[in-house]
Amino acid sequence: MCAYSSPALPQIRERFNLTENDVAWFGSLVLPGAALGGLVGGQLVNLIGRRGTMVSAAIWFVSGWICIILAESTPLLFIGRFLTGGGMGTAAPTTSVYLSEVSPAPLRGLLNTGCNLLMAIGILLGYAMGKWLHYTWLAAACMVPAFVSGVAFVLYVRESPRWLIQKGRRGQAIDALKFYRGPKVEEEFSLLERSASNMPGLSWADICQPQIYKPFLCSLLPMFMQQAAGLNVLLFYAKDIYEEAGASLQSDDCAIIGGGITVATFFVATLLADKAGRKALFIASAIITVIALGMLGLYFYLKDINGEDFPKHYGWFPLLAVGTYCVGHSLGLGPLPFVFLGEMIPMKAKGVASGICTAFLFGVGFLVVKEHFDLQHLLGTAGAYWLYGALVTAAFVPFVIFVPETKGKSLEEIEKLFSGSDLEPSVYITAADHVKLASC
């Protein structure tokens, strides 16, 4: 879905006679939809469970793609974009929460970043198919994974055992735990049940507790950095950016190359998440991303000074800059914000906090994408990219100071990091049927 607008936009612009303002809305409407989806999903994740919320996300997606396929006017086209955004906003935090709850602690980072690797592969396929497919057929192709995942969650995937225990559905929780861990689950189940029995509901007073507001604020920082870096600008308008830059390759090919670099880097990030650590990867990612934004801004600055002949000699530079951006962003800024969210937010606050964090993330993304063309008119293209780099830099210092490393820690241990209490031994799973006591 993230890769849809870049290859489809030239056809849609011609088909519907879109103005520059219409193009900005087409690119950005997915993000307020995602913000709404995040708020709705944040409530549903506790009301109907992680599994049911993922089914609802599939309904958002399929409905949106059908609107785009059938659209004969811009309103229905925009409604379709908004609905697909709702699916993205519902699915993104729910996936992270779900994987964090059902995954063994040593594999949590691998599975969460692996999920982002699959998303990167989807973006690459979207760019590749978009080079040859009509925009309606591309929309149909994008609808297939959403439909298949919805059916899979209905027929095959089990609910989170933690959520089932919290809701008092003991028998279903045991069955779900056996599905994910194997037959020997008695010890882990008793520990999860004891944890749930000591977990009161979330009240307004709880929000003032450090174990709630500290991880909440720490989750907002990486989300702000991801969107302030201009991720969706480069995703949604990739072809337009390469054409404006006068890149030496065709814009379609440049977008596909960028998608390929993203997939390769996501693969590396997936392997490193549980070895190098989430925080170290994120710091390296932010530094490389800021350098890449500086390079991209420098290219457009020199292009403005030297005129249209400049790309003839340096048309390779924007591809290098965007390639560097793809490497940097895909190492951490892309895959890790929702990993931090799923790991740092306490169980009882996951629904409300994940909804607010998701709405915040996509709200920032909407402002960046919607105002990108206005920023270009105000600051110049170079100034816009330098501003994105400056915003990431401004958030970098508080991230380094306040966000903890979560590698190898159980969810209970992470919660105690924020509460400031002494760590007691807690449980995480090191193999399918092996329970190990761990403490920091």
Residue 315 pLDDT: 83
Residue 380 pLDDT: 93
Pick the CATH number of 5-198+209-431 from 3.30.420.40, 1.20.1250.20, 3.30.870.10, 3.40.50.2000: 1.20.1250.20
Residue 200 pLDDT: 56
Residue 86 pLDDT: 94
Residue 197 pLDDT: 61
Residue 146 pLDDT: 94
Residue 203 pLDDT: 55
For the chain, give every domain's residue range: 5-198+209-431
Residue 422 pLDDT: 47
Residue type at 26 in one-letter notation: F
Phi-psi region of 49 (alpha: psi -120 to 50; beta: other; left: phi over 0): left
Q: Give phi and psi for 132, each to the nearest 5.
A: -120, -25
CB neighbourhood size of 368 (10 A) = 23
* Both tokens assigned to 436: 């190990």
Confirm if 239 and 255 have CB atoms less than 8 A apart.
yes
CB neighbourhood size of 176 (10 A) = 23
Q: Splitting the chain (440 residues) into consecutive groups of 10 residues, what average pLDDT does each group show?
A: 82 90 88 90 87 95 97 94 94 83 76 78 89 94 94 92 87 87 79 67 64 87 95 83 78 82 84 81 96 94 86 85 91 87 79 82 90 92 95 96 83 76 40 31
122 CA to centre of own chain: 13
CA dihedral 227, 233, 235, 240 (to 10 degrees): -170
Strand partners for 427: 437
Q: What is the DSSP letter of 261?
A: H
Angle at 57 between CA 52 and CA 62, to 5 degrees: 125
